[in-house]
Amino acid sequence: MDSLTWRQALAWRMDRHYLVERARPAEMRRVVARICGLHAQVMSSAELTLWARVSKLEREAVQSALWEERTLVKLWAMRGTLHLLPAEELGMWLAGLGTNRHFLKPVWLRNFDITREELEQLIEAVGSALDGQLLTRAELAAEVARATGSESLGERLRQSWGAYLKPASFRGRLCFGPGEGQLVRFTRPASWLPGGMEPVDPDDALREITRRYLGAFAPATREDLGRWWGVSPAQAGRMLAVLGDEAVNVDVEGEACWMLADHAAEAARAMPANVARLLPGFDQWTIGASRSSPAQLDPEHKARVYRPQGWISPVLLVNGRMEGVWRHERKGRRLLVELEPFGKVPKWVRTQAEEEATRLVEFLGGERELSWVAGK
């Protein structure tokens, strides 16, 4: 078993995330692919996730990629959360997501008061209604009710949180389109994307998704993979096993983790450098990080980062370790940036963090007002 230090492993991972040397604007879609999409429960966080990794990113770059160029697609994906995924790879992601059938289990059907037959009917009706169309939730509900002859099925789509829309998203029947004023609109991916989608074998898709995960978040355990993909550790273990010799066990300071074999060799040659970065809330780094590794986050501060109701704080990342939180707030022309390290940090960290705050103001616009506060 190969051995690594966490310092080597995190330096390698930061490089993979474009957090050591940032990507150029033309490489934006490559960044999205490399880090397994952008978490988009909060769209501003998705934009800042790219800002953290791409130099001189245009303020409207993500919106343009979504609604004009159609090179990114917004839909419910991993763990049933909203993501932005590369359009050119959507067939792979949907083939993998289509293997997720938790919503067909009796307990899910009981909890959401729907039969399997009704759910299958609803999914197909959603896909048919959205084919070549942009519909608000109300319009989609009305069309599904008309097509199925069931007001009950239509009414389910009006309910909040999108519980009944997520299965349609996993099956590739639904994605987000440009809004209409304040109203969200949906469409069907195959008709929305200019080039359509090539079908991908589900087994091949899961293998590639596992590779992508390890390429962004390794060294990782099967529990880490299962939490990220939304399956049990046993299922995640089977995903890893399918990679065969492509994936290897590595010893990271006594913890057995998985990496792609080529990447383990790269990490062993990693040259850690002092790098501090400001990552937004819901950043892919923080989402994919281990919840149990003290090398990545002191357990004492876990509740400051991973908050109730699934909220994930912006973090001060220092050499791959979460060493504080931060926030920003606009007040008139001023953009207030407040940095709160968990403890005393070296001068070079303060210098780089303040440079990051300046970059943030240049991206969002305004006049910088910066403060450091003592950790709670």
- What domains are defined for the chain? 2-192 (no CATH), 214-268 (1.10.10), 276-372 (no CATH)
Q: Please report the pLDDT score of residue 192 as a whole number.
A: 95
Q: Tell me which H or E stretch contains 356.
A: helix 347-364
Contact 338, 350 (CB under 8 A): no
Q: Is the peptide bond prior to 199 cis by the omega test (within 30 degrees of 0)?
A: no
Q: Token pair of 289, please?
A: 């990080």
* Residue 202 near residue 242 (C-beta atoms within 8 A): no
- Taking a C-beta distance cutoff of 8 angstroms, is the pair 28, 57 a contact? yes
Give me the pLDDT at residue 160, please. Answer: 65
Measured CA to CA, the distance from residue 283 to residue 313 in angstroms comes to 9
Q: Which residue has the tokens 């990629």?
A: 65
pLDDT digits (tens, 9 = 90+) for 353-370: 999 999 999 999 999 999
Residues of the chain with pLDDT under 50: none
Q: In what order do the strands lie in the sheet with 82-86?
A: 38-39, 82-86, 72-76
Cα–Cα distance between 17 and 27 in angstroms, integer? 12
In tens, the pLDDT along 213-234 reads: 999 999 999 999 999 999 999 9
Structure tokens, 224: 């880490």
Distance CA 375, CA 368 (A): 22
Q: What is the pTM of this model?
A: 0.95
Res 376: pLDDT = 53
Q: Report CA 61 to chain centroid distance, whole Å.
A: 18
- The amino acid occupying position 58 is E
| Pairing mode of beta strands 315-318, 276-279 | antiparallel
Residue 54, both tokens? 């791409």
Nearest to 85 by CA among 31, 12, 130: 31
DSSP 58-93: -TTHHHHHHHTS--EEEEE-GGG-EEEEEGGGHHHH
CA distance 57 to 54: 6
- Provide CB contacts within 8 A for 6, sequence distance 6+: 252, 253, 293, 295, 296, 320
For the chain, the straight-line distance linking the first and the last C-alpha, in angstroms and rounded, comes to 40
Give the pairing of strands 255-260 and 82-86.
Answer: unpaired
- Under DSSP, is residue 251 helix (H, G, I), strand (E, B) or coil? strand
Polymer length of the chain: 376
Task: Return the ∠ at Cα 137 (arms to 191 and 142), rounded to 5°.
Answer: 95
pLDDT recorded at residue 235? 96
